[in-house]
Structure 1
């Protein structure tokens, strides 16, 4: 029997998976730099963003479509599934990943706007306030939902469940 994942477990798994994603992106940047230097290409920021998006989609998409768990989710006994209990398809995973990145971006915006170079920009305080309001609304949305679905779950038709401990003996 499964139950909706508690928010603190979701956050712990997200932190773990965020560190893994950061590591994958660093390796991807090294590969990009080496290939560009070998071929003699200038940096194309749009192509780099698309490449990093696809690297992350590969990690999350493969994990979610092959067992429903990333390493962070496995550590906290969480699994993502479609709302009907079926495994995710690649389209489900891609939509969930895109919305998840957007949510992470909103959640990290107030902290990033503490950096002096960004804090001094016009409208930084307004953007920080808007991000905090959006973050609070997303958390409230998750808390009030009977199945604890976050925005990325609702929009992709998925849910995150907490798995019971494995029986031994």
Structure 2
């Protein structure tokens, strides 16, 4: 039976994949800017957000549905699979990716609210407290769960396991 991935290993793979995703998003933004300038088209922020979401979904979805491993997960010998052990489907990957973005948004909110321009918001301290509380409860939930599933795993019916050393 596969061993559930420890939280520290999942975070290490997430940092690796996050840096890759940032690079892909930067290339996608450069492409978007060049195309818009050539066609003399105004930027639409909702369209840009949807475009970046789809780029990230294509990145994670392809890797997760083709072997269950992103590049960061390969480096740490982790694999995403469905609860029954089968590979994730595109719908599983899309749901997990969307939920993963929500989870990381909550985790990163306190750091973002430390920026001077955002720290002046009326409820910045309360939002920071709520985000830190949700993050701590999620980590505790993962720690207490026998299969170390995070919120995105539970809600998408997936789990991350450690692959044996080859």
The TM-score, its normalising length taken from structure 1, stands at 0.97
Question: Which residue in 1 is equivalent to 2:91?
Answer: 91
Shift in Å, 1:130: 0.7
Question: Which residue in 2 is equivalent to 1:58?
Answer: 58
Aligned length: 166
1:32-64 deviations in Å (ceiling 9; x for gaps):
101111111111000000000000000000000
Question: Which residue in 2 is equivalent to 1:35?
Answer: 35
SS of the equivalent of 1:79 reads: strand
Shift in Å, 1:158: 0.1
1:106-132 deviations in Å (ceiling 9; x for gaps):
111111111000001110111111100
Shift in Å, 1:79: 0.1
Question: Which residue in 2 is equivalent to 1:25?
Answer: 25
Q: How does 1:67-106 map to 2 (within 5 A)?
A: 67-106=67-106
Q: Unmatched 5+ residue regions in structure 2?
A: none
User: In 2, Cα distance between the equivalents of 1:15 and 1:126?
Assistant: 27
Question: Which residue in 1 is equivalent to 2:139?
Answer: 139
Shift in Å, 1:164: 1.1
User: In 1, Cα distance between the equivalents of 2:101 and 2:153?
Assistant: 12
User: In 1, Cα distance between the equivalents of 2:127 and 2:40?
Assistant: 38
User: In 1, Cα distance between the equivalents of 2:21 and 2:140?
Assistant: 26
In the TM superposition, structure 1's runs of 4+ consecutive aligned residues that sit over 2 Å from their partners are none
User: In 1, Cα distance between the equivalents of 2:129 and 2:40?
Assistant: 43
Shift in Å, 1:2: 1.6
SS of the equivalent of 1:81 reads: strand
SS of the equivalent of 1:25 reads: helix
Q: Unmatched 5+ residue regions in structure 1?
A: none
